[in-house]
Chain A
Amino acid sequence: MSTRTITIEVLRYRPEQDQEPFFQSYTVPCDEDWVVLDALNYIKDELDRTLSYRWSCHMFVCGSCGIVVDGEPKLGCKAFVKDYGDKIRVEPLGNFPIERDLVVVIDDFIEKLESVNPYLIPKEEKSIDDGEYLQTPAQLKAFKQYSMCINCLLCYSACPQYGLDPSFVGPAALALAHRYNMDSRDVGRKAREDVVASHEGIWECSFVGACSQVCPKDVDPAGAIQQTKITSAIDYVTSFLPGGNR
């Protein structure tokens, strides 16, 4: 297998000793089928044990290794070295505070995720003895795409609205709210609507679409938000009619 020597420029920041983040270059002999995460693992194992970054599965399932590669939010395990030049710049995800090197603080996202009740709220609780909640293939198709989210936060890194206004609930959380709203087993839309249809919710989105472009699981959060806008706008208008819910 052929190898290519590549310079990996990594944004370093160790709060106890660095005044501010800086780029550190490493020379890495990369196999042709390596991904950027392999290069980072090589650095960690062979060159510099102090480098910090998150990863787990190496197969774009866990969503841990989100980084910015040459300016674009990517999963480290899905960014193939062969698609880049001889110098690759690796930075932590944008729009989040850096905790250490490539590790960012994601507390803000976790809070927002919790705020949209991202779980099934069934009409009535059934015991296991009552059997499964049955669904047709069409009912499954209505939400399946939005259930593929792995919370990797590439969409938050790419979203210019989140960058401008951190109070924005953001693409992944809103797409997950949509995922449960579209589920035939769920009746929780009203519980989610106060956050989803607020100024900080879907209405903060100006449909730039960057979230859907960078999503490694083709969730299409921008599409989910636009669909939510239609139902929420109709909700809002009908709430003024007799019998409407305010």
Chain B
Amino acid sequence: MARSSKAIPWLLFAGGGTVTAFILPVMILITGLFALFGVFSGALSYETMQAFVGNWLIKIILFGILFLTLWHAAHRLRVVAHDFGIRADTGVAIVVYGLAAVGTVATVIALLSV
């Protein structure tokens, strides 16, 4: 039997799982809830945040978080489809990984445009 290439998405899935569990909730709290309800409105103002994200180190960190989260979600959806008995694994993989790839490109464009 041939060794499976599933090792690659699984590594991204495993790394992304850690990021999704530990960092994503904090990101949602800061950018979703704090910003929405005006908590720390000075630090979260448009100008401050733009200068913050303008830093290359921050860009790289944000890319890491978003990239891993997207691929974690993609692989999780592939496994969920599998758990529901959908046997068209190749088709499912192309769709979910394709979405993650589009999201990754969008992330790069968004970060580079700041």
Give me the interface of A with B, judged by CB distance under 8 Å.
160-161, 164-165, 193-195, 197-201, 203, 206, 208, 229-230, 232-233, 235-237, 239
Instruction: Specify which chain B residues have a CB less than 8 angstroms from the CB of A206 in the assembled complex.
Output: 79, 82-83
The answer to whether B10 touches A233, judged by C-beta atoms less than 8 angstroms apart, is yes
Minimum Cβ distance to chain A for residue B68 (Å):
15
How far apart are the CA atoms of A193 and B3 in the complex, in Å? 8
Within 8 A of A (CB), among B1-27: 1-8, 10-11, 14
Q: Is B85 an interface residue (CB 8 A)?
A: yes
A237 touches B4 (CB 8 A): no
Residue from B1, B79, B87 having most chain A Cβ neighbours under 10 A: B1
Residues of A within 8 Å of B14, CB to CB, are 229-230, 233
Q: Are B4 and A198 in contact (CB under 8 A)?
A: yes
Number of A-B contacts (CB under 8 A): 55
Place the interface of chain B in its size category. 10 to 19
Beyond the given A198-B1, A203-B6, A236-B3, please list 17 additional residue pairs across the A-B interface where CB-CB is below 8 A.
A164-B83, A193-B3, A194-B2, A194-B3, A197-B7, A198-B3, A198-B4, A199-B2, A201-B4, A203-B7, A206-B79, A208-B83, A232-B7, A233-B11, A236-B7, A237-B8, A237-B11
* Chain A residues whose CB sits within 8 angstroms of the CB of B2 once the complex forms: 194, 198-199
Query: What is the bound-complex CA distance between A161 and B7, given in angstroms?
Result: 18
Are B7 and A233 closer than 8 Å at their CB atoms?
A: yes
Interface centre among A164, A195, A198, A233 (most CB of B within 10 A): A233
User: Shortest distance in angstroms between B71's beta carbon and chain A's nearest beta carbon?
Assistant: 14
- A187 vs chain B, min Cβ distance (A): 19
Q: Could you tell me the distance between the alpha carbons of A229 and B17 in the complex, rounded to whole angstroms?
A: 15
Contact of A200 among B1, B8, B10, B82 (CB under 8 A): B1
Q: How far is the CB of B59 from chain A (nearest CB, A)?
A: 25
Chain B 45-86 near chain A by CB (<8 Å), digits 1 or 0 = 000000000000000000000000000000000010011010
- Report Cα–Cα, A176/B83, bound state, in Å: 24
A160 to B85, CA, bound (A): 10
A206 to B9, CA, bound (A): 13
- Minimal beta-carbon separation of B108 from chain A (angstroms): 23
Q: Which residue of B lies closest to A229 (CB)?
A: B10
Contacts A164-B85, A206-B79; A197 near B10 (Cβ below 8 A): no
In the bound complex, do residue B7 and residue A237 qualify as a contact, i.e. CB atoms below 8 Å apart?
yes
